[in-house]
A and B are shown apart, each in its own frame.
Chain A
């Protein structure tokens, strides 16, 4: 029983991280049909900035908003400089642009921080375990799940309760009719990049708190996981991104506990095979919608 609860918390925690990642990726996709492969670099940069701020002696509670603000601004800058000029361009143009952006900000990181791994030093609390009866749960997992709930709640409030949110959903559903209503496509785009960046800031801290070490090429894993979660859930759907992220977390946890030791090295491949199997059965993803944001 205790083992089951621990596994469930594991799955929820991994799943929350993936769900947030997928949320940030799918939001930009929904308004621009862009799979932003530079997304993982936002996490990496958030990690480096967090590292720098913490090393400068800033308390952790202040570090979080600083990192989020930085990631938001970086994401908006990328959106403004690299993607806004391509509103309405074919997906392949956007794809190539996103790889270009990825390389540029990756090499800036290499020049500044070098290729070697750096450590994101978080308060000791993060590496403690919480004891609830007989169950031991890493504090980081609880923080991750709690953050996931808070971010998703804020996100839905913004999307469903504000006029900005309505404009964003309208533009995602039908860009041209939204323009007829006075919705400015470039503003919607900036809003999507801003929200997506803020989420990347949060996930960046959580991700590297868990992984520990950080290199300029650490973007690959989170980008791939986010991409899989998004496709698994249904491209362009917010609900799908959340569902896909949680499902992917559950799948990975399940593999971790059920695979024999000798097969653990192939865990990732087996997870992907399972995802491919799901997509063969449900080609449009778990939620099956394509253009819907909420």
Chain B
């Protein structure tokens, strides 16, 4: 087991958002976390990344309990989150945005090796996204939404993550641009990258991952192989608690 969340209870103030969620990710696997707006998907990602501390439950990486490891040390363990809304630093150049993703490498590999790896990944990211290379000296704010998402993915890759966490990478993007994002993610999958992806819309995600779970109001209501889930009416029920026959895509978007 590469990454495991065990019975996570998380909230803000007095409000419980996650009410005991468990999830597992194997090495090389891709898991989708689906659910409607407000289900707790982003809360789950922030908890895995360490920005929120669970009230109960544990997070384990390769069997080691990392529940109390602060967010700024998790990239050094190999967990990188491309956050919802992308979180591009508008005042940093594109290259600085990418390189700051490599901050945790120093801790993981030592200064010299970290620099070598950062440079290697940087040129790889520029190969994947030539536009980032062409505009590397421009500010992050100069990019379009889709380009910013590429930058967010590239920046997460600079951490050379063992687990890549993606929170709604297509949010606010034109469908065509969203497809390009998935194209890139598919390429990463092909290279064996383990990842957890949060999506509101299920169809594209299910084509892409090995396994998916659906959460609703902080509780996991369904988990299965993606192929089984696609062919299944349970997904619709899990999403909405409605009769099957209503297309969740239509309603959710």
By a beta-carbon cutoff of 8 Å, the part of chain A in contact with chain B is 163, 166-167, 169-170, 173-174, 176-185, 292-294
Contact = CB atoms under 8 A, between A and B. Distances in A.
B51 A182 contact: no
A173 B89 contact: yes
A182 B90 contact: no
Contacts of A178: 72, 89, 100
B89 A185 contact: no
Given A180-B75, A182-B159, A173 B90 contact: yes
Query: Majority SS of interface residues in chain A?
Result: helix
Interface string B178-202: 0000000000000000000000000
User: In the complex, which range does the number of interface residues on chain B fall in?
Assistant: 20 to 34
Given A182-B76, A183-B72, A177 B103 contact: no
Interface string B84-120: 0001011110001001110110010000000000000
B83 A182 contact: no
Contact of B49 (A163, A170, A180, A184): A180
A177 B96 contact: no
A173 B101 CA distance: 15
A163 B104 CA distance: 12
Contacts of B72: 178-180, 182-185
A182 B91 CA distance: 18
A293 B90 CA distance: 11
B51 A292 contact: no
B81 interface: yes
B76 A166 contact: no
Contacts of B96: 166, 169-170
A166 B92 contact: yes
A16 B182 CA distance: 52
B2 interface: no
A164 to B, nearest CB: 10
Contacts of A174: 87, 89
